[in-house]
Structure 1
Amino acid sequence: MANSIEFIPPAYSSRVEPESVARDMLRAGRAEIDELVAAGLPYEERAGVRHFDVNDLYNLGMYSGASTTQPELAFRMLFRFAGRPVDDLLRPKTWDFRVTLECAGCDEDAAWKLEEPDVVRFGGGVAGLSPLTGGRGTAEYSAMVTTTGARTPLVSPVLRRLTRDYLDAGYRWQMIPVPMQADYELVHALGATSCIAASLFLAERFRVAGYRAEARRGWFCGVLGGALDLPHACVEVEDDDGATKTVDIAKAQLAARLSPDTGPFQELCLGSIYNKVIPSTASGNAAFGHHECGSPLPIQVRADIRSARGS
């Protein structure tokens, strides 16, 4: 199992999950955790308890081949939709969108900023908006956000070739800390990829080829009922027909990895938009939130996005 992934480098690793969490996630006993540690799984021992990086645990589970680990079961459930007819992804869909921002170490009231949903230019809408409010430590934002889909496949042979070259490069999708994802050269040097790393890399390749392109962040919706906040990014590029297209390269990779019958969805990811993604105003490696209090610690942004009743 340990040979199937690359572990998070020390500079980006956060080994805070106790061994009990590792056992639950991997459906493993102590002896099996011992074997993983002997094979190189990094850990830190505190008060006699081994602690691990949650990304390492997710990746071990994803590529274990056991079919019983929490990551395998979660991602299979997550991508069930990708094997179904894609028409349901093209209709308008409304989401109950709630975000909580937390500023650790904050000691004063100060202005907050959130990179908000950016759906209107893609045919969506925002209603019932409760603007970002808060003061010291925490802030909240909520709205009913409507997304929609449209088939707008890439028409440029150059863009399609560059996209296909990346898909064929053999990079292995892994859960990676957001700060590390911005260092896409390091991520790719490990043979791995992620949505932000892939989008930053591909946007650069598109620009080198003469196209206007930018990696943009957003939220992938309906993940385990809103309980899992996955960092998401894609590329927006101006195609030969003058239209802005969205290349969701990581979701195409994941769909191909997790289900054999996802061809139509993979094609949808190469230029089109679909209703399970809420784009934001944030660029590909930018933070979703900011607090003007002066704390050096990063803002924690937690999204709870659930399908609205009747949507």
Structure 2
Amino acid sequence: MTRSQTRLNLPGGETVPQQQETACPPWEKVAEAIEFVPDQFSRKTQPESVAREMLHCDATDVDRLVGAGLPVEDRDGVRYFDPNDLYNLGMYSHRRNTQPELAFRMLFRFAGRPVDDLLRPKTWSFRVRLECHECAGVAPWLLEGPDVVRFGGHLEEITPLTPSEGSAEYAATVTNTGARTPLVSATLRKLTRDYLHAGYRWQMIPVPMQADYALVHELGVTSCIAASLLLAERFRAAGYRAEAKRGWFTGVLGGALDLPHACVEVTDDDGVTKTVDIAKAQLAARLSADTEQFQELCLGSLYNKVIPSTASGNASFGRHECGSPQPAQLRADIRSAR
């Protein structure tokens, strides 16, 4: 396997080398490099037909992956897999034709362009549907909604949640904006650089597992929530006010893909609250060296493709107060308002 190197720019001119594999390894090698979702967090919901489609492979390839350790569950003669495991296999397969790779390139097309467009006000049609399974009756809904006003944005045309049974929908027109506010603290820059130098590998991870950020990092991997929780802890240990916060990465596939997100809000030495979006910096660096401007933007600044929420890093976005033992399920549909 050959490797090429890009560099991640940090505020102040510091750089972090980023490795990119360029060869196409056999499926056994791909599986060997993946940390599969542990049993206690694994949900094997995707049948083999979906696995073949996602990975652009055949039954023989699936056999090879299973033989190499891909966790599987047989139900009535059909093999089922965790979607996170399938996504990670595709993401690091280097075949360039798997669904995760194609989606990743589409997702980050903007990152190689000039960042000025990410700093202007942007308006989104924001809709969230909440569902309560095993619902115990009519009750109020609670939503950790868009939190853009304190960052210079605004909310309009709000359709609030009302007490109901089973499901509810919140809608609003959300305008957010960007601001170039790079980190000025040498300590924050060092802690950020140290995290990027640690070599954690980004993977798709179930949200409940991401909350156990110690376990995630012990496995040598990372994700937006786990990374933000750990980095916020390190910022606080250094004497800074910091909190991991959840939100949404917007406009993905025209709103068809729900992408909850997390980053760190930290009060810098200049008294300004900065946003450190460490996971997006890592992912952009993996895509291309042409994303250097965006990578730097992720380390302190705001950009208009993220809508922050009032939820903390390991909290759920919403709940139904009916008494059901099951948490509310939430799906966002966020589309550019033209």
Please indicate, yes or no, whether the TM-score normalized by the shorter chain is above 0.5: yes
Is there any run of 5+ residues in structure 2 with no aligned partner, and where? 1-29
Q: Is contact 2:178–2:303 with CA below 8 Å preserved after alignment?
A: yes
Q: Give, in whole Å, the separation in 2 of the partners of 1:206 and 1:265.
A: 22
Matched ranges for 1:109-188 at <5 A: 109-188=138-217
Q: Is contact 1:215–1:234 with CA below 8 Å preserved after alignment?
A: yes
Q: % of aligned pairs identical?
A: 76
> How far has the Cα of 1:259 moved from its partner?
2.0
Counterpart for residue 21 of structure 1: 50
Q: Give, in whole Å, the separation in 2 of the partners of 1:230 and 1:60.
A: 19
Q: Given the alignment, which residue of 241, 246, 249 partners 2:278?
A: 249
2:50 partner letter: V
- Deviation beyond 6 Å, 4+ runs, structure 1: none
> How far has the Cα of 1:135 moved from its partner?
1.0
Counterpart for residue 231 of structure 1: 260
Q: Give, in whole Å, the separation in 2 of the partners of 1:39 and 1:123.
A: 50
Q: Is contact 2:140–2:162 with CA below 8 Å preserved after alignment?
A: no
String of CA shifts for 1:79-118, please: whole Å, max 9, x gaps. 0100100000000000000000011111311111000100
Matched ranges for 1:184-199 at <5 A: 184-199=213-228
Q: Given the alignment, which residue of 186, 196, 202 partners 2:231?
A: 202
| 3-state SS of paired residue (1:151) | coil
Matched ranges for 1:1-311 at <5 A: 1-309=30-338
Q: Give, in whole Å, the separation in 1 of the partners of 2:289 and 2:32.
A: 24
String of CA shifts for 1:25-47, please: whole Å, max 9, x gaps. 00010000000000000011111
Q: Give, in whole Å, the separation in 2 of the partners of 1:34 and 1:129.
A: 50
Alpha-carbon RMSD: 0.7
2:110 partner letter: F
| 3-state SS of paired residue (1:261) | helix
Q: Give, in whole Å, the separation in 2 of the partners of 1:257 and 1:28.
A: 24
> How far has the Cα of 1:133 moved from its partner?
3.0
Q: Give, in whole Å, the separation in 2 of the partners of 1:224 and 1:213.
A: 32
State the aligned residue count.
309
| 3-state SS of paired residue (2:282) | helix
String of CA shifts for 1:268-306, please: whole Å, max 9, x gaps. 000000000000000000000111111111211100000
Could you tell me the TM-score, scaled by structure 1's length?
Answer: 0.98
> How far has the Cα of 1:231 moved from its partner?
2.2
1:250 partner letter: A
> How far has the Cα of 1:134 moved from its partner?
4.9
Q: Give, in whole Å, the separation in 2 of the partners of 1:297 and 1:269.
A: 35
Could you tell me the TM-score, scaled by structure 2's length?
Answer: 0.90
Is there any run of 5+ residues in structure 1 with no aligned partner, and where? none
| 3-state SS of paired residue (2:180) | coil
2:86 partner letter: L
Q: Give, in whole Å, the separation in 2 of the partners of 1:288 and 1:259.
A: 32
2:318 partner letter: G
